[in-house]
Structure 1
Amino acid sequence: MNRDWQTRYELAVEAGRKAGDLARAYYETTFDIENKADDTPVTVADRQAEQLIRSLVTQSFPDDGFLGEEFGDQPGGSGFRWVIDPIDGTRSFIRHIPIWGTLIGLEYRGEPIGGVAYAPVLGQVYRGLRGDGAFVNDRRIHVAKTDKLGDALMCYSSLNWFTKVGRENAFLELVRRTHRQRGFGDFYGFCLVAEGACDFMIDHGVHEWDVSALKAIVEEAGGQFTDWGGTPTTTTPDVLASNGLLHADVLAILRDTP
């Protein structure tokens, strides 16, 4: 295992835990909520959690770069970049719904190589490093072996994202063609794919900080992660994560449904 990757991965797990626990301290109290320019909510917990991660990383790797939801892009010279979503699922966080998490993606020369998704209230750390496998806490995880769409459990974030981009028919066709559907939004649906609890997760409206960590985890669990055109990227707003066996079938429905 590449030592530079491994040491940063270990730090990502530590930093994710510390930042998530900081956010949880706010979650268990009352706090003020602001709206950002894009009309999405933000709290002091989001900002402090991201600041903590940046501080911990900079102490050990001062030449690494960052991309974070709250404090933007900070280029580095080492080839490594940390992609941070301090609270993925802020809308759940502010309504005291426990499905939210702290995400840290680790990139090297533009490629996601590792990821950590810590769900503090659930007590679960999903993590993966290229070549090392994927885990929840210390248990190795793998995607499901479901190979028929009619047997599949589909996860999604919210129907309104499909409505906004005029893809309601494709969504409804996926509903008709799958066995069950569950609206586990944000990071959690992707983590469920990685551990084999659901078979694919489809989403729209994401940013790099929403999915960089998750791509690494899903792929290390044996799954596939692309946009709706089949490109393995984290830079588009549309994303599909699956066990790999169903990926082509879902992409075909997205492509062929008017």
Structure 2
Amino acid sequence: MDVLQRKGITLIENALKDFYEFAIRISKEAGKLNHTSFGNPKSIQTKKDDSLVTETDKQSEILVRDRISQTFPDHGILGEEFGVKESDTDYFWCIDPLDGTSNFVRGIPLFAVSIALLYKNEPIVGVVYDPINDYLFSALKGGGAFLNKTPLNRTDRPLQSKLLFAVQSDFKGEIPKHMHQILGKAKIRNVGVASLHICYVAAGWLDCYVDQKSSLWDIAAGSLILTEAGGKISNLSGENFYPLRDDVATYTERKVHCIGAKHDTHQRVMREFFLL
């Protein structure tokens, strides 16, 4: 490898580290705002998809958007409350600065800040911050995944006969066939925060995450954390979820269908519940 190649790799690594540290800083800043407002939700409204939004959701997203635009003005942004800011670059921030609004409104101390940076439709930085428990899940592509400063184990834990799944609970219409299988054979948990569900799988606290109703901003950060912790994120057919087949900007109103688990568990889940 010549000097120019080494210098180029060093510049890329330094830029990635800068993105990572920036994402951690703004996630903690947004988390502090959310924590301070917890217990006193204001201006609660119901959106057209029946989800809730509060003044804190908006304030937190404005804060994160402003920090990104000030620091990386040419980068794109996709967020839950204010949609998409287009970009001519390959960099796109995917943000949900208050994931778990229903919990937040009801006084349940489980919600998170989710911030991801995608490059060419694939996450390269992911941060999910739970301000109540001060849990900082983070990852950078090729650099591993962490809970606070502790590396997350890349190996599957020994599997039990019944897997512990995180799934959404508010199905509309007919329940999909695979969900009948899961409900009959597995144990279920739902904390009401999609980004934390994936991080709990990455940490080994849950075995698998299955979703058909979240948005890209809910899962983008957590999916990198899971893959860097030795897991896999796929569609319901088992195909790799990333790189995205369409541009990030097209995901403003699209719901994502995905399965996340450590590798051996992912194979078992596909075999027992989806490839029927």
Q: 1:254 to 1:164 in 2, by over 3 A?
A: farther
Query: What is the CA-CA distance between 1:157 and the residue it aligns to?
Result: 2.6
1:153 aligns with 2:164: yes
Which digits, 9 at most, give the CA deviation of each residue in 1:169-224, with x for residues without a partner?
A: 4223224434x332233222211111111211112201111111111110011111
Q: Is the 8 A contact 1:130 1:216 kept in 2?
A: yes
**What is the deviation of 1:151?**
4.8
Residue in 1 that maps onto 2:99: 88
Establish whether residue 232 from structure 1 lines up as the match of residue 240 from structure 2: yes
- What is the DSSP-based 3-state SS (H/G/I as helix, E as strand, rest coil) of the residue aligned with 2:64? helix
1:60 to 58, 63, 71: 71
Change (3 A) 1:148 1:29: closer
Number of aligned residue pairs: give it.
Answer: 253
Larger radius of gyration: 2
The TM-score, its normalising length taken from structure 1, stands at 0.90
Asked if 1:215 corresponds to 2:209, the answer is no
Partner of 2:188: 181
Cα offset for 1:256? 4.5
In the other structure, the counterpart of 2:49 is 38
Equivalent position SS for 2:146: strand
TM-score, normalising length: structure 2: 0.85
Q: Which amino acid aligns with 1:218?
A: L
Question: Per-residue deviation at 1:164?
Answer: 3.5
3-state DSSP of counterpart to 2:133: coil
Question: Contact conserved, 1:144 with 1:199, CA < 8 A, in 2?
Answer: no
CA distance in 1, matches of 2:261, 2:67: 33
Q: How does 1:1-258 map to 2 (within 5 A)?
A: 2-143=13-154, 145-146=156-157, 148=159, 150-158=161-169, 160-161=170-171, 164-167=173-176, 169-178=177-186, 180-185=187-192, 186-233=194-241, 237-256=256-275
Instruction: Give the ranges of 4+ consecutive aligned residues of structure 1 lying more than 4 Å apart after TM superposition.
Output: none
* Structure 1 residues without counterparts, runs of 5 or longer: none
Please, which runs of 5 or more residues in structure 2 have no aligned partner? Answer: 1-11, 245-250
The 3-state SS of whatever aligns with 1:73 is strand
Identity of aligned residues (%): 30
Distance 1:184 1:40, change over 3 A: closer
CA distance in 1, matches of 2:183, 2:149: 34
- More displaced stretch, 64-73 vs 235-244: 235-244
